[in-house]
Amino acid sequence: MAEPDPEPMASGAAQRLGAPETLGISTLDPGHKPPAMPPGRHVTIRVRMLDDTEELFDISQKASGKVLFDLVCSHMNLIEGDYFGLEFQNHQKMMVWLDHIKPIIKQLRRPKHTILRFAVKFFPPDHAQLLEELTRYLFALQIKQDVSCGRLTCNDTSAALMVSHIIQSEIGDFEESQCRSHLLNNNYIPDQMPLIDKIMEFHSKNIGQTPAESDHQLLEVARRLEMYGIRLHPAKDREGTRLSLAVAHTGVLVFQGHTKINAFNWSKVRKLSFKRKRFLIKLRPDLNSSYQDTLEFLMGSRDCCKVFWKICVEYHAFFRLFEEPKPKPKPVIFTRGSSFRFSGRTQKQVIDYVRESEFKKIPFERKHSRVQHNIRLSPLPSPRPHEVVDSPSLHCWKESALVSAEDPSASRTTRASPSQQRNAVVSNSPHLSASSGHSHGMVNGQKSLELCSHSPNGRQPSPLTSPLLNDAGSVRTDDEDEVRRKRFPTDRAYFIAKELLTTERTYLKDLEVMTVSFQSAVGQDEATPESLKKTVLSTFEPLHKFHTGFLREVEQRLALWEGRSNAHIKGDYQRIGDVMLKNLQGLKPLTANLHKQTEVMLELEKACRASRRLEGLCRDFELQKVCYVPLNVFILRPLHRLSHYKQILERLCKHYPATHVDFRDCRAALADVSEVAEQLQGSLSKMENFQKLLELKKDLIGVENLVVPGREFIRLGCLSKLSGKGLQQRMFFLFNDVILYTSRGMTATNQFKMHGQLPLHGMTIRESEDEWGVPHAFTLVGQQQSVVVAASSLTEKEKWMEDIQAAIEMAKTSNGHSSELLTSNLTDNKAESEDDITASHTSLERPSPHRGNTMVHVCWHRNTSVSMVDFSIAVENQLSGNLLRKFKNSNGWQKLWVVFTNFSLFFYKSHQDDYPLASLPLLGYSVTIPSESENIHKDYVFKLHFKSHVYYFRSESEYTFERWMEVIRSATVPSSGACVLNNKESHAH
């Protein structure tokens, strides 16, 4: 019988190896039942888990391996089970993986006496690709086993560093006598005694790390080691030299001892096969290579060859293909070679599935951890499905989805059953990112409920949902509110005036951020230059004083307008134009202060560059809850406020007939504010671009010269980049001279790591969907490098191609280029060596905090993009006011003060609160009117929904309903991107 000779291996990621039909889902989806158990005699099978416990599973002998594997994943509530497998020792004393397709009875000779080991099967290159904390925890247990048994070899420093993170997770913060005693009683690495002092030294630097963060740091060190995820298979070359073969996400590796001496990338491999004891690697022709077309290795037996060949087929399919391979047609007469093919989801399918499913994850028990974390949560008993995200996993994401804020200890001590999980999800569906004392929510960039801390998956609170103000003390409304509302005037002018009132309250709070909060946090420090203190004070204090008086007058007028006792004099008080005219004329002498916003921003940036201490103070201030949007946005607020006054007056003038008593005052006030706004328009668009560059600079690692004269920001967002590893999610930044592409950094700073840059000068762009077989793909052809990328949808592809093409045309006509970017850590084609580990640890162990609620992170999680036009339009579309909110399955309505700005809704108990308690970024959401079937029998209700997350909001009038719908649509339906560069100025006022 002919030996197996598999199909040629694909070099293009769109080609595939072929596979038989899979049996159902790869891991147990929530809401799905395990595959039906075939009839027949049952047998109890023992499975040893990664924490060394043993579990018993009762299963039919005729069941496939997949049925058993799904039962194990279901038992653990493991969603990303595709990275794992069940291995056992076969009758030839070889460790093999349980085949998902074959019946168990054909694989286990003595099932009652066989112990299967649940273990990691596929090791991804970056643990950022693992979206659940549970998955990372299991990977950490696997690393712990590999280090202990000597399979993961490394130098002493790396070994000590990894052990320090393991014991930080198990016993908590460093205490010398406890740490030494623990190490004397527990052996983590071979020959541990000489390294105890070094382990304790590293452990002392881990104070404050949660178990989840320790897992992150452990994986960060491990993934850089040469032997990470390596399983050696003994072999010999043609000369008889003893070698070992291994397979990784990149391809087939050759080791001598524990040193890698060769690697054959998947793109270079044409075919893998084996004939008896010979394992064959057929390479693609390469004129520059000295290798033969076919490499031959001799292994211990035919079975050894077949076991290794199977692993290679599975690794290739899992990491290289976009989707599960199509089944190979069965031959009519006879077969040649092995029938084995990869069965299951590819890594890309796993990542897409978990992201799109938006699971409400539940906590799990760390059986080896004695650490008790006193997590201070905000008084929000509503479970926190993912912070705009379920919890730290997919969206902070999955860590404490269903944990009551009143019972923080539950976050690491229990793991509910699947039925409990489903019930909890139904009753607590959408939530919004809670932000309390130690919160890292989408509100302020700090640790979100601390469970999410620096989300070890690098994915801090995702921008998808969150827990929100469901505590018993919150104001709930009923029909009494309806009665109260009916007393208010019904005139449209009243609601326009009320919008002035509500937005002025928010604006005054924003001014206080600069006059009070910033002054107390930064202005009192000696590192702040006196000139900067004086500039901030002289600029914002007069504005704050003026708008305090303005707000008081507006509040008094609205109180008279809606007061029943004044019905007899309504002609005098049911207007707002006179108040606006008087105050906007009073604002004219402060035009100089408005001009100084530019000076404040420039001087603050200059001072931060000159003083590391001041830079740190400003960064820490941005992480405070009161600073709910980037600091520089507050500096530009006075300029933006002028456009809001202009819009309000335009609506009043449009509403009033020319004969109305208020029309003349509104028209005069509109002329005054338009005059001031026109004077400032010239510098506003430049300052918005400058502000955006400064904000992006904080989001990026490895970019030195982002803010240079002449550089304009155009668009940022997610694209998938095609590489030797397949499609990799990357964050792209388009400027008028260069395109940068980055990936999410696996550090607690939540920043994006620079991978490469593509100058626009001389670039061309072409569609390449057919060429690569990848949906929505296009190619950027530069003078030195070409990059193939794929957008998430046709609309996204069109936006990117239009903007890039427009930027390329502009680059042709520009006089020279902006300064070259000074970059470091370009990682796409560079491997990190083990020697770099200690250096990287230094930067990781006390990372500078970084806000996690910028639009870069929202785009990353929602796989979309926004342009500078979108940001400019968002400046105009800001709104504040009371809304009633209801979750999909909740009963009553909850009254909240809501602020819409920066593409997000920010939620407060009342307008007097100094900072928001939760937030909801809206990019990707849809805003619609509820259908009849949803049984929302109220007026002025709109519905926000994103995948499975649904919120209902009620406004008080037709006018406010229309305004909320209008501004939310501006965030949920970004601009088409056409003529971005030409139209930017028209949108920036």
Q: Residue 648's closest CA among 583, 556, 560?
A: 583
Which of 104, 25, 99 lies closest to 59 in space, CA to CA? Answer: 104
Residue 304 clears pLDDT 50, i.e. is over it: yes
Hunting for tokens 């009758």 — which residue is that? 91
**Closest CA relative to residue 466, chosen from 451, 478, 477, 480:** 451
Residues 232-258 have pLDDT tens digits of 999 998 888 899 999 999 899 999 888
Burial track 789-826 (b if 16+ CB lie within 10 A, e otherwise): bbbbeeebbbbbbbbbebbbebbeeeeebbeebebeee
| Distance in angstroms (rounded) separating the CA atoms of residues 820 and 759 | 9
> What is the per-residue pLDDT across 151-163, written as a single tens digit (0 to 9) for each?
999 999 999 999 9
Q: What are the tens digits of pLDDT across the range 4-40?
A: 444 333 333 333 223 333 333 333 333 344 456 666 6
Query: How far apart, in whole angstroms, are the C-alpha atoms of residue 465 and residue 610?
Result: 39
The arithmetic mean of pLDDT across residues 203-213, rounded, is: 89
**Alpha-carbon separation of residue 816 from 456, 736, 759, 811, 819 (angstroms):** 43, 12, 12, 8, 9
Q: Cα 351 to the chain's mean position, in Å?
A: 12
User: What is residue 526's predicted lDDT score, i.e. its pLDDT?
Assistant: 83
CA distance 44 to 56: 6
Instruction: Round to whole Å and give the CA distance between 896 and 918.
Output: 11
In one letter, which amino acid is 550? F
Closest residue by Cα to residue 350 from 26, 118, 719: 26
Name which of 580, 430, 491 is nearest 949 in CA terms: 430
Query: Token pair of 79, please?
Result: 């969603």
Largest CA distance in the chain: 108
Q: Tell me what the mean pLDDT of segment 349-374 comes to.
A: 65
Element (H, E) at 659: none
Write down the mean pLDDT value for the chain: 77
> What is the distance between the alpha carbons of residues 167 and 192, in angstroms, rounded to a whole number?
13
| Residues in contact with 401: Cβ distance below 8 Å, sequence separation at least 6, in sequence order | 359, 360, 361, 362, 363, 383, 384, 385, 386, 390, 391, 424
Q: Which residue has the higher pLDDT, 385 or 107?
A: 107
Asked if 683 and 677 touch (Cβ cutoff 8 Å), the reply is no
Query: Residue 311 carries which side chain, given as an amino acid letter?
Result: I
**Could you give the C-alpha distances from 964 to 495, 877, 961, 967, 970, in angstroms and in order?**
13, 10, 5, 5, 10
End-to-end CA distance of the chain: 77
What pLDDT does residue 924 have? 86
In this predicted structure, what is the pLDDT of residue 458? 40
Nearest partner of 724 among 124, 268, 272, judged by Cα: 268
Enclosing H/E stretch for 195? none
Q: Is the dihedral of CA 137, 139, 145, 146 positive or negative?
A: negative
Average pLDDT over residues 549-568: 78
Q: How would you classify residue 276: left for phi > 0, otherwise alpha for psi between -120 and 50, otherwise beta?
A: left
* Closest among 886, 722, 701 to 791, alpha carbons compared: 722
In Å, what is the CA distance from 734 to each residue of 714, 805, 806, 959? 5, 11, 11, 38
What does the alpha-carbon distance between residue 731 and residue 741 come to, in Å, rounded to a whole number?
Answer: 6
Q: Which two tokens stand for residue 429?
A: 């569906």
Q: Which amino acid is at 449?
A: L
SS3 content of the chain, % helix, strand, coil (to 5): 40, 20, 40
Alpha-carbon distance of 814 to 437, in angstroms, equals 49
Q: What is the mean pLDDT of residues 875-893?
A: 87
**Between 371 and 187, the higher pLDDT residue:** 187
Contact assessment for residue 799 and residue 865, using Cβ atoms and an 8 Å cutoff: yes
- Distance between CA atoms of residues 911 and 899, nearest Å: 9
Q: Is the four-CA dihedral 652, 658, 663, 667 of positive or negative sign?
A: positive
Residues 498-518 have a mean pLDDT of 92
Which 3 state secondary structure label does DSSP give 744? strand
SS3 211: helix
DSSP state of 763: -
The phi-psi region of residue 351 (left if phi > 0; otherwise alpha if psi is between -120 and 50; otherwise beta) is alpha
d(CA 498, CA 489): 11
The encoded tokens of residue 837 equal 């580990």
Is residue 909 within 8 A of residue 896, CB to CB? The reply is yes
Q: For residues 664, 666, 669 and 671, what is the CA-based torsion angle, rounded to 10 degrees?
A: -70
Of 949, 942, 880, which is closest to residue 920 (Cα–Cα)?
949
- How far is Cα of residue 877 from the mean position of the Cα atoms in its chain? 25
**Sequence letter at residue 184:** L
Is pLDDT at 119 greater than 60 in this prediction?
A: yes
SS3 597: helix
Residue from 942, 863, 958, 850 nearest 905 by CA: 942
In this structure, of 100-104, 202-206, 507-511, 646-650, the range with the lowest mean pLDDT score is 100-104
So what's the pLDDT on residue 553?
92
Q: What percent of the chain has pLDDT over 90?
A: 31
The helices-and-strands tally (H runs, E runs) of the chain is 27, 30
Beta bridge partners of 885: 894, 953
Tokens 């320790």 locate to: 214
Distances (CA, A) of 44 to 37, 61, 76, 77, 462: 14, 9, 18, 21, 41
CA distance 717 to 739: 11
Structure tokens at 972: 């949920």
pLDDT of residue 6: 41
For residue 390, the model assigns a pLDDT of: 31
Instruction: Please report, as a single letter, which amino acid is at residue 385.
Output: P
Of the pLDDT bands very low, low, confident and very high (cuts 50, 70, 90), residue 412 is very low
Q: Give the separation between CA 402 and CA 379, rounded to whole angstroms.
A: 15
Q: Where are the beta strands (DSSP E) in 724-784?
A: 726-735, 738-744, 752-759, 764-767, 777-781
Placement of tokens 């639009």 in the chain: 855
Summarised one tens digit per residue, pLDDT across range 915-958 is 898 889 998 889 999 988 888 888 999 999 888 888 999 999 99
Q: Which pLDDT value is given to residue 357?
A: 67
Distance between CA atoms of residues 895 and 197, nearest Å: 57
Q: Residue 786: pLDDT above 60?
A: yes
Q: What is the pLDDT of residue 717?
A: 92
Token pair, residue 203, equals: 């452990």
**Highest mean pLDDT of the ranges 128-137, 260-269, 440-449, 798-807:** 798-807
On the question of pLDDT at 733 being above 60, the answer is yes
DSSP assignment of 128-147 equals GG---HHHHHHHHHHHHHHH
401 pLDDT band, cuts 50/70/90, is very low
How many residues are listed for the chain in this entry?
Answer: 989
The number of angstroms, rounded, from the C-alpha of 960 to the middle of its chain's C-alpha atoms is 32
Q: Which residues contact 974 (CB under 8 A, 6 or more apart)?
A: 799, 864, 865, 866, 867, 870, 923
Q: Are strands 949-954 and 941-946 parallel, antiparallel or unpaired?
A: antiparallel
Distance set, CA 148 to CA 48, 51, 190 (Å): 17, 13, 6
Q: Where is pLDDT greater, at 826 or 905?
A: 905
Mean per-residue pLDDT for 205-214?
89
If you average pLDDT over residues 310-332, what whole number do you get? Answer: 75
- Give the integer Cα–Cα distance in Å for 630 and 278: 62
